Amino acid sequence: MDPISMLGIKIGMTQIFNNKGNAIPVTVLELGPCFITQIKNISSDGYNAIQIGYLEVSARKLNKAEIGHLQRKDLPLLKHLKEYKVESCEKFQVGQNIITNELKIGELINISGKSIGKGFTGYQKRHHFSRGPMSHGSKNHRQPGSIGAGTTPGRVFPGKKMAGRMGGYKVTIKNLQIIDINTEKNLVIVKGSVPGKPGSLISIRRAQSK
């Protein structure tokens, strides 16, 4: 069976208690409903994939190409589109609705999202470097120190770990266990943390069974 794939948003984190009284940190997700907006196959595109859409919006939030792509297939206007590769396209149809009732409590999923942006940060926070000496007279508390290698090569190598923009990149957390599902409100509770801040877009994919 192909891994189920859905888009949604992160609601936030909380904790629940199990039967033994242990606190379990969990993240609440709102997944779907998603619509299949396009099907690609080997004969026409060279690979099998489905494109799904999420979050219905007004026409003014989309450009003409996006509106035409969706209206041509009598689909609602969806803000987010994402493509997932599948082994076979036979069981999928354009316009098919994907909702949380296809997930099961206890199974594992992979969740991808954009990490929280930290802005421009120093080398210690960004790369976990140690600080300089804090004794009297030291002027190297949080300074990066020497970054070059002297006369030869006489330049700084590309990729040098220095201060810069931190966060705001794609992060995938694998094998998060589903604790509970509310199909009426499209809510899924997973064990552990999920990248991004509350309200950010996330995508999930059922973990491949070994």
What is the second-level CATH architecture of the domain 5-121+171-206?
Answer: Beta Barrel (2.40)
Q: How confident is the model at residue 210 (pLDDT cuts 50, 70, 90)?
A: low
Q: What integer pLDDT is reported at residue 91 of this predicted model?
A: 84
Q: How far apart are CA 58 and CA 68, in angstroms?
A: 14
Q: pLDDT tens for residues 9-23?
A: 999 999 999 889 999
Amino acid at 194: V
Look-up of token digits 């891994």: 3
Q: How far apart are CA 70 and CA 76, in angstroms?
A: 7
Locate the domains of the chain by residue range: 5-121+171-206, 122-146+158-166
Q: What integer pLDDT is reported at residue 135 of this predicted model?
A: 94
Q: What is the pTM of this model?
A: 0.83
**In 3D, which of 53, 11, 48 has the Cα closest to residue 36?**
53
116 compared with 139, residue with greater pLDDT = 116
Q: pLDDT tens for residues 41-79?
A: 998 899 999 999 999 999 999 999 999 999 999 999 999
